[in-house]
Structure 1
Amino acid sequence: MSSSGNRGVVFRGAGKVAVENIDFPELALGKRKCEHGVILKVLTTNICGSDQHMVRGRTTAPEGLVLGHEITGEVIECGRDVEFVNKGDIVSVPFNVACGRCRNCKRGDTHICLHVNDDRPGGAYGYVDMGGWVGGQAEYVMVPYADFQLLVFPDRDQAIDKLTNLTMLSDIFPTGFHGCVNAGVQPGSTVYIAGAGPVGLAAAVSAQLLGAACVIVGDMNPQRLEQARSFGCQPLDLRQDASMSELIESVLGVPEVDAAVDAVGFEAHGHGCAHEHEQPASVLNAAMEITQAGGRIGIPGLYVTEDPGAEEESARHGDISMKFGLGWAKAISFHTGQTPAMRYQRQLMQAILHEKVDIAKAVNVQLIGLDEAPQGYADFDKGAAKKFVLDPHGTLM
């Protein structure tokens, strides 16, 4: 163990992360004791595409930020007021920090909690503009509001055995599922998923779990498209010079789908001959083109209010050129925002434990040590068709 008793992955400017000694967590919020919190020994913590946006310099994230919002761990200390979580429990941490007491939390909208961020509704661990919470790409981390937030796995040995699957419950599995639920995916649906990164693949698995008849996954990365094919999706190479309607028709025989999910977000590129240039609204515009009239688009892909790395001045301030009139004319519904992960965690846990889904295989998990995090970020940035899962204590390796 390091002299500080803790190490974490720290953002050090565009393109740079470093594994450094960081403070060992305390049961404290500022200067007051956090008796409703716990300290976790982090068993797994994942590199997310949202982390990658910050590391690329595409947000206003400050240097020195400890990264990581996808956390699974073992409870090693409980605050005085924690009643239902015990030392030794293995738990999933929803990436949204949520108090459980405000009006939004009480109606299940934990992604826009009113009490965990002074600047705007909603908090998250290790993320820009989300309340300053210390991230969990570390050996140890503090989690507040433990009784409300934590999902305790029912059996310790079973949890360790399935940890590469269960670690996806902190974010990308609920996020992909939320995108599909918001898009109205149901048994027999035809679904288009934009993006074959980990969230897109998690959305594709979720669509299958919800009973979709055909799941089409669009991307420009051949390896990621092959990963989508590996579990029964229809891959769609967006480097082809054809309209989105034509591409969809080449698969389905008709130029539209019942539901669409944007798992790309603000770093989107145009397709076909325009694929080398960023077009932040291209996925949303394509989704409007191919979604049935009266249909819905789930948007778990990240959009930001400030993007200092954008190619266009307007996009640097979150302004993108959507064909909103097309959406209005077709009566399309848009469903945006972070995912209230807690809403879906328990049922998705049951699907994993009862072997109804193998999310780790679908997203192609690769376990790495904490010291390998900088290389994991670099490989992910190059388009590796993998989900990098950090194992800070060598629990699984």
Structure 2
Amino acid sequence: MPNNRAVAYKEPGVVEVIDIDYPTFELKDGPGVNPENVGRKVPHSVILKTVTTNICGSDQHMVRGRTTAPKNLVLGHEITGEVVEVGPGVEFLKVGDIVSVPFNISCGRCRNCKEGKTGICLNVNPDRPGSAYGYVDMGGWVGGQAEYVMVPYADWNALKFPDRDQALEKILDLTMLSDIFPTGFHGAVTAGVTVGSTVYIAGAGPVGLAAAAGAQLLGAAVVIVGDLNDDRLAQARSFGCETVNVGAGSVEDQLEQILGVREVDAAVDAVGFEARGHGGGAQAEEAPATVLNSLMDVTAAGGAIGIPGLYVTGDPGAVDDAAKVGSLSLSLGTGWAKSLSFTTGQCPVMKYNRQLMMAILHDKVQIADAVNAKAIPLEDAPRGYAEFDAGAATKYVLDPHGFTSA
């Protein structure tokens, strides 16, 4: 049986690469595992040799100590892998297949899954609807920042790439299908982006950049990305976006300079609950409702706001007691008065991943370039986390077995 190494959360600001058990077709006890899931048989699973697994901004929330994640939780929900073992209940996947794994774990059997709401599956997390690999309060499924990982309900969950060689040639693009590309695209879709739209995206991290690329794919006339980080704004400009530095003055004023008007047709929140105040420069203090309130101000009446940015119900590092339980001071009256629509929650990755795979395979989008993907060895994960946390305009892709160099 092969060894297995994985990236684990140790304490705020610290991750380590540790030895963990090789996966089996049964859920074992461990950090963050819901007791009701311990001993659960999963014959419908495959075991993957990890090809690529990405560091996500959602992981960073845990690593900063901004959630209730337990020590030694194995991280990682963005997984692409090679099938090396199939469970007795798997019918359609074979050893050697290269697959993308949606970050949301879903059973394919419950009411929500049958309605396409795979982000809120009812059968995989005893705590609440919805689950994910390597994430706090998501049922305790072991994360994929590892050499090997188990994927349940594999015939349903895994997206098989049609050609192995083609997939490996485009692996830095295809690895984005597990989360950030569908998530960003979902933000644009739920914001109502269509041909000719003007779009404002708050946040130039990887999900914001993916949302910008998604908005372009949907036919937006102008895509404007706002952030405090000049390097990330430069990355947005590298593939044709306009940008605003929210620390340099009013967002509305800067939109007017670009568009001639102070509002956009559609807006996306790709920041989430660690938002900082606008207009205060790069050292602005945290103000978690800032982005949502700003987007309500700059979205035209009758428009929509997509919210792929993460908001939580437990934040021990929040700026006040209300925010610690996810209560924010939102100007809902503004949204009501302007008849704005809002869409929040996990992206149902399976709604989009095959279509986006085809766009990648047929060169309609270069998502790895858009998010500035960079492959690093698994052992370098602590450095990748630190540099990403410091604001690097990079999407770090962990490569445990050297597939990207090969």
1:67, 1:125 within 8 Å by CA — same for their partners in 2? yes
| 8 Å CA contact retained: 1:8, 1:21 | yes
Match of 1:370 among 378, 388, 402: 378
* 1:255 aligned residue: 262
TM-score by length of 1: 0.98
Q: Is the 8 A contact 1:4 1:23 kept in 2?
A: no
1:19 alignment counterpart: 17
**Matches for 1:154-233 after TM superposition, within 5 Å:** 154-233=162-241
Q: Secondary structure at the match of 1:366?
A: strand
Q: Is the 8 A contact 1:100 1:106 kept in 2?
A: yes
1:344 and 2:352 aligned: yes
Q: Which of the residues 60, 69, 88 maps onto 1:61? A: 69
Work out whether 1:266 is the aligned partner of 2:266: no
Q: Over residues 137-179 of structure 1, what are the superposed CA-to-partner deviations in whole Å (9 max), with x where a residue is unaligned?
A: 0000000000111100000000000000000000000000000
Distance 2:183 2:97 in 1: 24
Gaps of 5+ in 2: 28-37
How many Å separate the matches in 2 of 1:251 and 1:284?
21
Return the offset for 1:31.
Answer: 2.7
- The alignment status of 1:357 with 2:365, answered yes or no, reads yes
Q: Counterparts of 1:37 and 1:291 in 2: how far apart (Å)?
A: 44
1:7 maps onto 2:5 in alignment: yes
- Say whether residues 1:237 and 2:281 are aligned partners: no
Amino acid at match of 2:202: A
CA distance in 1, matches of 2:9, 2:69: 8
Q: Please name the residue that 2:32 is paired with.
A: none
Q: Structure 1 pair 103/156, CA: closer, same or farther in 2 (3 Å)?
A: same
Kindly report structure 1 stretches of 4+ aligned residues shifted beyond 4 Å.
Answer: none
With 308-317 and 106-115 compared, the bigger mean Cα shift is at: 308-317
Q: 1:66: how far off?
A: 0.2
Structure 1 unaligned spans of 5+: none
Q: Distance in 2 between matches of 1:290 and 1:175?
A: 22
Q: Is the 8 A contact 2:244 2:251 kept in 1?
A: no
Task: Report the CA distance shift for 1:4/1:22 in structure 2 as closer, same or farther (over 3 A).
Answer: farther
1:124 has 2:122 as partner: no
Equivalent in 379, 400, 403 of residue 395 of structure 1: 403
Question: Could you tell me how far apart the structure 2 residues matched to 1:225 and 1:324 are?
Answer: 29
Distance 1:53 1:305 in 2: 13
8 Å contact from structure 2 (residues 184, 214) kept in 1:
yes
**Counterparts of 1:28 and 1:82 in 2: how far apart (Å)?**
15
Once the two structures are superposed, the pairs formed by residues 99-110 of structure 1 within 5 Å of their partners are 99-110=107-118
2:92 maps to: 84
Is the CA contact (8 Å cut-off) linking 1:4 and 1:22 kept in structure 2? no
- TM-score calculated relative to the size of structure 2: 0.96
Question: Residue 35 of structure 2 corresponds to which residue in structure 1?
Answer: none
Aligned length: 394
1:4 touches 1:21 (CA, 8 Å); kept in 2? no
Cα distance in 2 between the residues matched to 1:199 and 1:350: 20
2:343 aligned partner: 335
* Alpha-carbon offset, residue 352 of structure 1: 0.1
Aligned CA-pair RMSD: 1.0
State the AA in 1 paired with 2:311.
Y
